[in-house]
Amino acid sequence: MGNCNNSTVEELQACESHQWYRKFMTECPSGLLTFYEFKKFFGLRNLSETSNAYIETMFTTFDMNNDGFIDFMEYVAALSLVLKGGVQQKLRWYFKLYDIDGSGCIDREELLLIIKSIRAINGVSHEMSADDFANMVFDKIDINGDGELSYEEFMEGVQNDEMLLKTLTESLDLTHIVQKIQGEIRANT
């Protein structure tokens, strides 16, 4: 599979899509991933309670028809968003992911929980503590100062702040998980 070594996402997607499909069908012959299988699929073991809650939220946002399973179409939609979604698309999806209780706003606790769990999963050390980071985000983009980030505040604020956008897309994305799958795909070919 020498052609799969190209690094652009488009090429990678085209070249590997059938392998993603094969992986899905191999690990999940029923064609439906439960939450338990989802974690197994991504090699997520021994998660802390916080990380587990985050992954569960992620699972719920991938399960678009809310039937408790991720089917192949939902899997593909999730992967293509992660791999090649535009900024707006990703931010919209992040917002849904961070608004854990579905209230339509992200409060400080929700943001903090997300930051902490993603850091735990990625296992990267950061200069700024999760608390400081959350405070900075609220200082910058909670325009009306009510302690919650509305959809508008989040979308506007993040897109208009290059540093924040960079930090969010870098440290809060799923690259680590995607790389893990890609590593497994390569190892099996």
Report the interface residues with Ca ion, using CB under 5 A. Answer: 63, 65, 67, 69, 99, 101, 103, 142, 144, 146, 148, 153
* Distance of closest approach, residue 148 Cβ to Ca ion, in angstroms: 5
d(C-alpha 23, C-alpha 10), whole Å: 19
Nearer to Ca ion (CB atom), residue 9 or residue 73: 73
Nearer to Ca ion (CB atom), residue 10 or residue 156: 156
d(C-alpha 132, C-alpha 185), whole Å: 37
Q: Residues in the chain, how many?
A: 189
Burial 173-187 (b: 16+ CB within 10 A, else e): ebeebbeebbebbee
d(C-alpha 144, C-alpha 75), whole Å: 37
* Distance of closest approach, residue 171 Cβ to Ca ion, in angstroms: 21
Residue 11 structure tokens:
């090429």
* Distance of closest approach, residue 68 Cβ to Ca ion, in angstroms: 7
Q: Which residue is nearest to Ca ion (CB)?
A: 103
Nearer to Ca ion (CB atom), residue 108 or residue 180: 108
On whether the CB atoms of residues 128 and 142 are closer than 8 A, the answer is no
Nearer to Ca ion (CB atom), residue 2 or residue 81: 81
* Distance of closest approach, residue 2 Cβ to Ca ion, in angstroms: 36
